[in-house]
Structures are given as C-alpha cells and as structure tokens.
Amino acid sequence: MEQLRSPNVPEWSSLLPEIRNAILDTIVDLRLPGWSALASVSKEWQSVIGARNMAKLKLRKESCFDGLKTIVQQRHLVKHIYLSIELPSYPCHGCTGSPRPDHEDYDHIIGQAIDTVTSILSTWETEGPLTLDLNATSPSDTNYWAKNFRFDDDHDADAPIPETGWHDPIHGWQKGVQTDPPEFSELQQLFMPVVLGRPTESPPPITAVTCLMIRRQFRRYFVPSILDPLLGRFHRLTDLIYEPWPFLYTHVCPDYLIDTKYLDTEEVIVYKRVVGMPFPITLKRLIIFRDDNDFLQAAKFPQDPEVQQEIQQYSQRRRSLQDRGFLFVDNAVKDIRGLAQMSLKLEELSASFVVDAAEFLMYFAGAKDYVENVDQCTSNDLLLAMSMLVLRMPLLRTFVLWHGRKDGAGAFIYNRTEKYAHMVWRGTRQLDFSPKVLKEWGNVAEFHSSELRVRHESIEEKIRYRGDAIHYLDLPCQVIQPTSLWQIRMEETASRGTRS
C-alpha cells in the first residue's frame, strides 16, 4: 500500500541542515516520553539526540555507578555528571522522640558514592570540559518542617509557584504559611555535617573534571578539611562553585570543627572558613555563595537539653586543650587572607556573604589608608579603597560590590569595554558619588586607557528577600548558580504561601 503523505509537508532531506538541527534540538528540549529512543532513527538523529542525551548524566543509585563504568567510546560526549546520592529515610526527632541521626550514619554512604565515582573518573582521559555536581538527599527531607525547600533540581527554567496547601501545625505550617521555626535538633537532621574518612593511600589524580559544583541544595555541611584531599585530586580543575550554609545550623559549638591535624603545631583551628585551602593551581574561576535564612536563625535551640549537654562537653574540651598550652585561632581571619591572596591568581572571583568586603580590601596595600575603621566605613570610603585596589589590576574588566536584603539592594559596577569604562550605581536607594570618588575612578579609567562614563539606575521593584535582590540587580557576573537563585525565590515565596 502506498503511504499517504500531505503534499504540503516537505521531505526531511529537503530541509536546510540548520532547520533540521533546530527541530531535533526542540525534541530534546521537550523531553517527551521515549524521546531518547529517537536517536536510533538515523546517524543524523543520533548525532544530535544521542549527544544531547549523553551530555548530562544523573547518578543516584549504585546501579547507575555501574553504568558509568561501561561508558568508554562516548566519554567525550559527557559534559555534566550530577551525583545525587540517595540517603535513607529518617523519622522526625522532634515529634517521635527518636534518636537524632548521627552524621556517621550517612558519612559512609556519601563517602562510598564519591569514592566510587571519582575512582571511575580517574580512568577517563577526556580533554573537554566536564562538571562534577555533588548532592545528597533523603526522601524524608521534605516530610517535616522543610516542605518548601528544593533538594534535587537540575534546571533553572522559570516555573509558576505552585499553590501550597501545606497544613502541618506540628511542624510549623499553618494553611500554607510557615509560622514557626523548627527545633534546633530538627534543623540538625537536615544540616548535619559530612565527615569523610581520609584515604589510607594516595588516590589517583583526576584529569577529566574541570568544574566542581556543590550547590546550596546540598544542605549537609562539608567539614572544610574534608574538601582539601578531594580538591587536591583534580589536576585540571578550572572552576569551583561552592554554596555552603552557615555551620551555625549544624551545631552551636561543633566539636568536629576542631581540626586535630593542627595539634602538633600548638594551634587548634576552629573552622569558620568556608572552603579548603590551598586551591588547585589550575583554578581560574571561584564562586562562593553562603546562603542564609533569617527564619531558620530563630531555630529554638536554647531549650534543647541535648544541645546544652553538647555545648558543655565542647567547652570542657576547649578548656582542657587550652590548659595543655594549645592556642585557639579563629580561622575566619585566615579565610579572608586566603581569599585575598588567591584572588590575585584567578580570572574571576565572587565571594558573597563569606567575608567582610572592607576587611577583605584591608589585606591589599594601600586599601587600609582609606579603611582604617571598618565599623565606620561609609560607601564612598569603600569605593575609594576599591579604586586603589583596581589600580593594581591592569587586566581587570569587571568589578562588582553588591548587597541585598529585605527592602533594600544596591550594586556598584565597574565594567571596562573596548573604548569606555562604565561606573554604575544600581539600587533601591540613591547613592551620590563624592567628588573624590569620581576623581579616583576617573584615574582608574585613564589607567585602563578608557573614558569614564557614570550613570545611576533605580530599582523600583519591591525587594522581599535576598533572591529578589540578586534577580533585580541583574549583575554582569555570576554570584550564584542560576538554579540556586531560582530555588531561593521558589522557597521564600512558598514559605509565605502564594501571596506576594
């Protein structure tokens, strides 16, 4: 029987190659059921659909790890590996009185998954870009107080905020609105630390991975010293995107943040630093964003007898070490110094809510002349200090200092193009540049052989939370992974119901 075909429908081969590719890309973007099987239609379809299907792999269970081992000929097609480790379910400590999960219950699972995947990747010899994206979630994470939290997103597409009918007074939800913060012990269930064992032998290096991502949806807290050996294995790492949460959510006085490897130096490092040092020498781009949540800061921990007991034990150990002559060092200072020194070797650095900007600048020669008293530093003082710093960066093209909170956001942006240097203030409030600031930044533009152009831009939209601030500031550089920003806005809106 002759196949019937409308005369108005052109044959596939008659279409231009770019049109055929656009159609195949649309098929992949829609991801309708069975879309990946269409790669078997022809070599042309396989070259587009097959490549897109292999570009991003999501690994969750051990069976997926075995599948990763079988990839040999197609390794060059893999651009992103999303390791989303599945953790076991757990009961609510607050309403069942069950023992709180110990981080050791999960350390083995997380450690084994990371070891397995990195061991496989150490055998890859690909030369293109490859991102390793780490996450770990439990099905119980959204069952209790964290109903609005996003845990396993791998997209950044805009989506409508769903109607939330959550009504669970025991866990602080009243008719779709979060009204009460969790008990601190409940908070710890979600933000518990990850303390991985150190390898007994030197593990093989990994040259395939060029970008490591640990996003905010990885709520568990990586103890910083644990990241040191992991980062040290990546011999071709150029990008690090790290979005940790404050360790305050993990523990008030965390005993495991005392790094005993420094005991023989007569120092005990209390970790307030964000990420392991030193960074790989190949690193070119570092983006650190420490998220926070005003609502969670009100978590009710003073009344928790278990926490009080642990605080007492921590204090006793601290006094014992001090009596033995050990010196406690606040590592936040070393964090500032380390980031400042590292910034001189990077092509791009973004550090948001990690260190004080004024203190960061004071580590550079000349900046302290303008910022002698950080507490009394005005906006124009800070801009003067920045101008001195930028004069030491002949290759700098973009410099941004921004802030964002409820009801307020602002950004100072210096961006150099081929002919002009643009100095922009964008914010919800007006900032008038002093004559001295305009003069010094004019010198910066002249140093860069550019003409300075100054403008002010007003933000009229209402800033309800930090996510709104980042969205409306429309910064010229990345300060947070796009999916993470989408999650912040989704979570904040959902916790207040669907009302604006």
DSSP assignment string, 391-403? TT-TT--EEEEEE
| pLDDT tops 90 at residue 213 | yes
Q: What is the pLDDT of residues 328-384, one digit of tens each?
A: 555 555 667 777 777 778 889 998 988 777 777 777 655 444 444 444 457 888 888
pLDDT of residue 81: 94
In tens, the pLDDT along 448-497 reads 888 999 999 999 999 988 899 999 999 999 999 999 999 998 888 777 65
- How distant is the alpha carbon of residue 267 from its chain centre? 30
Provide the percentage of residues in the chain whose pLDDT is more than 70.
76
Structure confidence by residue, pLDDT tens digits, 404-438: 888 889 999 999 988 899 999 999 999 999 999 99
Half-sphere exposure of residue 28, counting CA atoms within 13 Å on the CB side? 19
Does residue 215 contact residue 133 with C-beta atoms inside 8 Å? yes
Can you give the residue ranges of every domain in the chain? Answer: 11-59, 63-145+181-355
CA 25 from centroid of its chain's CA atoms: 29
Cα separations (Å) of 309 from 181, 315, 414, 496? 22, 10, 51, 34
> Which has more pLDDT, 14 or 122?
122
User: Tens of pLDDT along 234-283?
Assistant: 999 999 999 988 777 776 555 444 444 444 444 444 444 555 556 788 99
Alpha-carbon separation of residue 260 from 121, 161, 202, 257, 346 (angstroms): 31, 46, 20, 9, 30
Contact 348, 328 (CB under 8 A): no
- What's the gap between Cα 430 and its chain centre? 30
Average pLDDT, stretch 169-184? Answer: 86
- Supply the pLDDT for residue 325: 65
